[in-house]
């Protein structure tokens, strides 16, 4: 038999929708679990295809009772004393995506309103929290089917208390932690030895609003492709060189009143980086937040309409100006997630008030799909509404199969299910985006495998090196066989922040289709440096026009 090969073009066009109609595609909702047991205040995807969810431990019993206490192993009884004992209940769980099941995890100190990131080996790095947990460093190394892994706490402590701080993975396999309640410093983890101290950051004092409990907490952090750190707090932003511990740029204030940072709690995303400009253009986006005086008025039972505005700004180069646009309705305490199509999903949140217990009203039930490549004024599409309010302490995260996992929601200081407007929410859902519709199955790349992977003693793809991927495709979306490849760093999500979220549009150097069987082989180029893509695990996706494959894990590393 004669095997026929076609040499294809590796393309990357503007918005990825040409040649296929998405008319009427608003996505749909899938119900997964009635009770996660634990409010998913924090959520993180592991490269073993599990999701870690955890709440605070100081809110009393969760809805995941234990037979035996962690640590001591003493039996938990049905006596009133044990029913009110927080140690007889799990406060963190591991969710197995394929099995749709839960496993309880141990937490020794309180991670309430903590932050997190990832090490290059896939370990989750949890930092800070409340009370005795405010200076703690926690590690979770996923183990897959072994199911014996659990949270471990480091013997080293943070230099300062980190409650409502933010964390970002850097290019040197360390993370930077910025801010905290009445803390105007930053520091690095893992610690390089005993006595490593924090660094003052006057910017946090300058943006601090005492009357609004800070309004600069949980600052937005984004690692630029030059290795510098973008920091946004309240309404202002700077660029910090973390190697020199020096602020090298101050950006213009985002237009409009109100605030974007906790407890005003807008959200932020760094738009996908693109190989076509050698990953040099870095653009951030900030959306929503609360009006001036929202916290004070919420305390009096008055709920002010949140912000509708979004701002986009290129932080590289020398010309910095916010481009403003508007959402259909106000939104705060929401998530912004990058989808495999490079579009942005706005999901969860509220329309009135601000973050904090009982401080918001009018849940945002309709997700928005934002296409950053369309012209101003045409970028937002309203998607299918949910019937479950996801407000304060809710989270959402992209899964390898293309769905978005959505959980949590608890506007109260403890678990409350009756006689409140917004009960504690333990139901787990998935939002299924438009691109997963069955009518697109013939266009969906499948059987994605990563070839030429590893070699030598180390596993992973070295920066700047070529590697091969193979996949099958039934039909190409358009006549020019438009196929793109992306690598996505999943975030650590909490309080509307998607910390460490990052997408790269990778260079495809050549692509060949073997007609017998429909197999396609593509040669891709890894990102050039850890500044562009910090070492670690990413989800690799093939996108045929606007239709993505299921994603596979890939690891980028130094030589």
pLDDT of res. 453: 63
3-state secondary structure of 360: strand
Determine contact, residues 291/305, Cβ cutoff 8 Å.
Answer: yes
Helix, strand, coil shares of the chain, percent, nearest 5, are: 5, 40, 55
CA 552 to mean position of chain CA atoms: 18
Q: CB neighbours (10 Å) of residue 80?
A: 8
**Once rounded to an integer, what is the mean pLDDT over residues 356-385?**
97
Residue 458 banded pLDDT, cuts 50, 70, 90: low
**Once rounded to an integer, what is the mean pLDDT over residues 509-520?**
80
**What are 189-238's pLDDT values in tens digits?**
999 877 789 999 999 999 999 999 999 999 999 999 999 999 999 999 99
Domains of the chain from N-terminus onward: 5-17+442-557 (2.60.40.10)
* Whether pLDDT at 186 is above 70: yes
Residue whose structure tokens are 């990052």: 502
pLDDT of res. 479: 55
Minimum mean pLDDT range among 275-284, 373-382, 439-448, 513-522: 513-522
For 249-260, letters b (16+ CB in 10 Å) and e give bebeebebebbb
Which of residues 79 and 264 earns the better pLDDT score?
264
**Strands of 137-140's sheet, edge to edge?**
115-118, 124-127, 137-140, 152-153
Residue 144 banded pLDDT, cuts 50, 70, 90: confident
pLDDT of res. 23: 58
* Whether pLDDT at 478 is above 90: no
Minimum mean pLDDT range among 63-67, 221-225, 455-459: 455-459
pLDDT of res. 60: 85
Minimum mean pLDDT range among 14-28, 178-192, 446-460: 14-28
Minimum mean pLDDT range among 164-178, 410-424, 512-526: 512-526
Q: CB neighbours (10 Å) of residue 42?
A: 28
Beta bridge partners of 137: 127
Determine contact, residues 192/240, Cβ cutoff 8 Å.
Answer: no
Q: From CA 290, how far away is CA 39, in angstroms rounded?
A: 24
pLDDT of res. 81: 86
Determine contact, residues 238/186, Cβ cutoff 8 Å.
Answer: no
Distances (CA, A) of 352 to 222, 265, 308, 330, 528: 27, 12, 11, 8, 44
Count of helices and strands (H, E) across the chain: 3, 44
Q: CB neighbours (10 Å) of residue 352?
A: 21
**What are 80-93's pLDDT values in tens digits?**
888 888 899 999 99
Determine contact, residues 243/472, Cβ cutoff 8 Å.
Answer: no
Determine contact, residues 499/445, Cβ cutoff 8 Å.
Answer: no
As to burial, measured by CB atoms within 10 angstroms (0-12 exposed, 13-18 middle, 19+ buried), residue 301 is: exposed
pLDDT of res. 339: 98
Show the tokens assigned to 464: 């700047």
Distances (CA, A) of 555 to 58, 63, 119, 463, 552: 37, 36, 11, 10, 10
Determine what percent of the chain is predicted with pLDDT higher than 70: 93
pLDDT of res. 513: 80
Give the start-end residues of each E strand in 399-551: 404-408, 428-432, 446-451, 461-462, 466-472, 483-489, 492-494, 497-499, 502-505, 507-514, 519-525, 536-544, 547-548
Q: From CA 287, how far away is CA 326, in angstroms rounded?
A: 9
Residue 457 banded pLDDT, cuts 50, 70, 90: very low
Q: From CA 89, how far away is CA 218, in angstroms rounded?
A: 28
Show the tokens assigned to 260: 């974007």
pLDDT of res. 193: 73
Q: From CA 534, how far away is CA 173, in angstroms rounded?
A: 7
pLDDT of res. 78: 85
Which of residues 38 and 474 earns the better pLDDT score?
38
What's the predicted TM-score (pTM) here? 0.95
Determine contact, residues 476/446, Cβ cutoff 8 Å.
Answer: no
* Angle at the Cα of 241 from the Cα atoms of 140 and 288, rounded to 5 degrees: 70
**Once rounded to an integer, what is the mean pLDDT over residues 321-328?**
98
Q: From CA 266, how far away is CA 215, in angstroms rounded?
A: 11
**Once rounded to an integer, what is the mean pLDDT over residues 179-191?**
96
Which of residues 462 and 458 earns the better pLDDT score?
462
Distances (CA, A) of 194 to 225, 358, 390, 548: 31, 41, 41, 47
pLDDT of res. 35: 98
**Once rounded to an integer, what is the mean pLDDT over residues 65-77?**
88
Tell me the pLDDT of the chain averaged across its residues. 93
**What are 16-54's pLDDT values in tens digits?**
445 565 556 899 999 999 999 999 999 999 999 999 999
* Whether pLDDT at 500 is above 80: yes
Show the tokens assigned to 430: 């998935």
**Once rounded to an integer, what is the mean pLDDT over residues 430-437?**
96
Q: From CA 493, how far away is CA 550, in angstroms rounded?
A: 21
Beta bridge partners of 238: 231, 250
Residue 503 banded pLDDT, cuts 50, 70, 90: very high
* Whether pLDDT at 107 is above 60: yes
Determine contact, residues 284/311, Cβ cutoff 8 Å.
Answer: no
Distances (CA, A) of 54 to 107, 162, 402, 492: 9, 17, 23, 11
Q: From CA 271, how far away is CA 284, in angstroms rounded?
A: 6
Which of residues 558 and 343 earns the better pLDDT score?
343
């Amino acid at each position: 038999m004669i095997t026929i090969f076609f040499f294809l073009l590796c393309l990357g066009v503007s918005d990825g929708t040409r040649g296929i109609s998405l008319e009427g595609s608003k996505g749909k909702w899938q119900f997964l679990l009635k009770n996660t047991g634990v409010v998913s205040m924090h959520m993180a995807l592991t490269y073993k295809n599990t999701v870690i969810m955890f709440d605070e431990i100081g809110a009393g019993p969760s809805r995941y009772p234990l037979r035996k206490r962690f640590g001591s192993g003493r039996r938990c009884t049905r006596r009133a004393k044990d029913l009110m004992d927080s140690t007889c209940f799990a406060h963190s769980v591991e969710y197995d995506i394929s099995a749709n099941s839960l496993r309880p995890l141990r937490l020794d100190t309180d991670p309430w309103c903590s932050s997190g990131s990832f090490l290059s080996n896939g370990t989750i790095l949890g930092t800070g929290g409340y009370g005795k947990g405010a200076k703690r460093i926690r590690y979770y190394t996923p183990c897959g089917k072994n199911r014996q892994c659990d949270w471990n706490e480091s013997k080293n402590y943070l230099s300062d208390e980190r409650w409502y701080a933010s964390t970002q993975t850097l290019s040197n396999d360390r993370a930077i932690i910025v801010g905290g309640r009445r803390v105007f410093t930053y520091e690095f983890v893992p610690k390089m030895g005993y006595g490593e101290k924090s660094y003052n950051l006057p910017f946090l004092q300058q943006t601090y609003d005492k009357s609004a409990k800070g309004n600069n907490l949980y600052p937005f952090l984004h690692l630029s492709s030059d290795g510098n750190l973008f920091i946004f707090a309240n309404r202002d932003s700077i660029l910090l060189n973390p190697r020199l511990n020096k602020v090298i740029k101050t950006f213009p204030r985002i237009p409009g009143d109100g605030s974007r940072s906790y407890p005003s709690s807008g959200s932020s995303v760094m738009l996908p980086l693109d190989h076509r400009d050698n990953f040099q253009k870095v653009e951030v986006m900030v959306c929503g937040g609360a009006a001036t005086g929202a916290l004070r008025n919420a305390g009096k039972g008055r709920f002010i309409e949140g912000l509708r505005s979004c701002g986009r700004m290129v932080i590289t180069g020398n010309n910095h100006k916010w481009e403003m646009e508007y959402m259909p309705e106000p939104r705060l305490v929401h998530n912004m997630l990058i989808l495999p199509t490079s579009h942005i999903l706005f999901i969860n949140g509220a329309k009135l008030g601000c973050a904090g217990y009982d401080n918001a009203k009018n849940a945002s039930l309709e997700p928005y799909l934002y296409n950053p490549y369309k012209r101003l004024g045409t970028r937002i599409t309203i998607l299918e509404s949910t019937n479950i309010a996801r407000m304060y302490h809710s989270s959402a995260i992209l899964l390898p199969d293309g769905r978005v996992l959505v959980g949590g929601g608890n506007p109260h200081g403890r678990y409350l299910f009756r006689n409140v407007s917004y009960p504690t929410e333990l139901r787990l859902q998935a939002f299924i985006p438009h691109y997963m519709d069955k009518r697109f199955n013939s266009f969906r790349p499948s059987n994605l495998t990563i070839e030429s992977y590893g070699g030598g003693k180390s596993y992973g793809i070295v920066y700047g090196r070529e590697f091969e991927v193979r996949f099958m495709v039934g039909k190409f979306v358009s006549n020019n066989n438009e196929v793109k490849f992306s690598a996505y760093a999943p975030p650590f999500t909490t309080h509307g922040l998607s910390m460490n979220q990052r997408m790269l549009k990778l260079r495809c150097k050549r692509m060949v289709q073997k007609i017998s069987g429909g197999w396609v082989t593509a040669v891709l180029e890894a990102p050039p440096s850890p500044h562009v893509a910090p070492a670690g695990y990413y989800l690799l996706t093939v996108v045929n026009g606007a239709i993505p494959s299921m994603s596979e894990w890939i690891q980028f590393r130094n030589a």
